[in-house]
Amino acid sequence: MITSKHSTSQEAWEWINEYLATQEEEVLKQGGVRSGPQMISYDHFMEINKAWVDPNFDFGKMFGYKIQKWTKLVSNYIDIDFLDIAKSLVLEKEIKKVQAYTVGFKFSNAHSSGHGCLLTLVFQRRMTCDNPIVIMNIRSSEVTKRLLMDFLLVERIIEYIYGPKHGASLKVYCGNMYLSGEAFTMYHNHKDLRKLFAGNKTAMAERVLKILDKFETPEALKIQFRVHLRAVKRLHKIDINPLLARDLKLPYYKFISEQEKILPKKKLIKKLPINTINK
């Protein structure tokens, strides 16, 4: 198990990208592999002090995402009935000031094109902690383009359940994390890759820098492979439509105060994919 600790979700996203890109020898030593253009690492456990993505992070500038990307992510992974039941169970315990509880929520995978990468969330109070803890289980994650938006989705879920001033920490387990050299070139709009790889002579570093040099040429705009062309356009700053993290919300009800007691929707309990353990 590879464990790491981070102040925020965004810091965790930066760390895993830079770890896979720059620490090839360590990744291989820890049981990971380099397969063609990908660096793959297994069994990661991240402890994140606060679920937080910079509100000004621009998913449009970085990855060319449009609002439909967020809308599809929400509709694929969240069944609002099940989320409301989880919220009801949590708030019932919060209002009663229950010192310890564990409430589970299972992500949906509604779309036929979905890959079921997000599995479950567990909302937890522990007698040893002042703030709630949320445990996130991920099947697999492409860390550059996808992971940060997944973290933002979980941040919005936490806000929906606990309110915007939640203070919740996040524990993340992922069995399979991977980085693609071509996709990682888009990280250059976040941090200078040439400075990041300064003095790094690993095969992965040399591959990424070679791809970056190629993608920054005018000829790269003629690339036909759409996935690579997306990265090229980001590096050339073409077709940029702002999509800030602060504007990506859950299209549901307003936040509910801790004083307002919400009872579970009993008619949905039968099909609820949630296990609740009271301690």
* Domain 2-248 of CATH type 3.30.572: yes
What's the pLDDT tens digit per position in 77-116? 999 999 999 999 999 999 999 999 999 999 998 776 657 8
Structure confidence at residue 123 as a pLDDT band (50, 70, 90): very high
Strands 33-35 and 169-180 come out as unpaired
DSSP secondary structure of 174-243: EEEEEEEHHHHGGGGGTS-HHHHTTT--SHHHHHHHHHHHHHTSGGGGG---HHHHHHHHHHTT-S----
**DSSP annotation of 36:** T
Report the pLDDT averaged over residues 123-137: 96
CB atoms within 10 A of CB 259: 7
Q: Which of 243, 248, 272 is nearest to 155 (CA)?
A: 248
Computed over its alpha carbons, how large is the radius of gyration of the chain?
20
What are the domain boundaries of the chain?
2-248
Q: What is the pLDDT of residue 14?
A: 98
Give the mean pLDDT of the chain.
90
Q: How far apart are CA 175 and CA 160, in angstroms?
A: 27
User: How far apart (Å, rounded) are the C-alpha atoms in residues 206 and 200?
Assistant: 8
Copy the structure tokens of residue 80: 């609002």
What's the pLDDT band for 253 if we cut at 50, 70, 90?
low
| pLDDT-based confidence at residue 45 (cuts at 50, 70, 90) | very high
The confidence score (pLDDT) of residue 114 equals: 59
Residue found under tokens 């702002």: 242
Amino acid 261: pLDDT: 43
Does 212 score more than 70 pLDDT? Answer: yes
Distance CA 108, CA 33 (A): 30
CA separation for the pair 40, 196 (Å, rounded): 19
pLDDT digits (tens, 9 = 90+) for 262-278: 444 444 443 444 333 33
